[in-house]
Amino acid sequence: MVDIHTILADHRSKKKNEDSAHFKDQSQDLATPHSLQNVKVTETTRSRPTVLATSSEIPDLFFDKILVEFKLPRIEIMVLMYVYRQVWCRPNLYKVHGISQLLSYTEMGKVLHLEIEDIYQALRKLEELGFMATVRSGQYFVRRYFSKEIDQEFGQTYDDFDF
């Protein structure tokens, strides 16, 4: 069976070598492993690409108040940050409401290197603490400033949607 990489490798452009270099760069982008999906790669030399990390904006309040007061275990911090980034730091249609897109537990487990049971327990604990609420299985309401009181203090509203 012929795949796109074979077709592109055998393709000869009528233009000069510029197009062939462009197709090589595109085929390398298609071959990027899933673990580097959110990492930007720039080519500084032909032999070694430079990997630039992406960043997410997490309020200082999380580090100064939430971690200090609630003494969250590592797994709960990982799950909270993962879901928080999916809602507030990535493209999301439901951002104004603080709601995540549908999230896959198995994908979350692969990304965080956690067992699904650990993820379930962490999600239940985070709901008990009021940081998030389940809208439906795999979809969560996550507070912008982590608690209802702090949301009110900063004037955060969710477009007439709140738990």
pLDDT tens track for 128-139: 998 998 888 888
pLDDT tens track for 101-131: 888 999 999 999 999 999 999 999 999 998 9
Q: Which has the closest alpha carbon to 144: 131, 125, 135, 133?
A: 131
0.85 surpassed by pTM: no
**Which residue did the predictor score with more confidence, 23 or 75?**
75
**Which residue did the predictor score with more confidence, 76 or 20?**
76
In this prediction, residue 161 has a pLDDT band, given cuts at 50, 70 and 90, of low
- Find the mean pLDDT for residues 81-104: 85
Q: Say if residues 109 and 115 touch (Cβ distance below 8 Å).
A: yes
Predicted pLDDT at 28: 47
Q: What type of residue is 5?
A: H
* Alpha carbons 126 and 39: distance in angstroms, whole number: 28
pLDDT surpasses 80 at 85: yes
CATH class of the domain whose range is 60-154: mainly alpha
Under 8 Å CB-to-CB from 130, ≥6 apart: which residues? 143, 147, 148
pLDDT tens track for 12-71: 766 655 444 544 444 444 444 444 455 555 555 456 677 777 788 888 889 988 999 999
What ranges do the domains of the chain cover? 4-52, 60-154
Q: Strand, helix or coil at 141?
A: strand
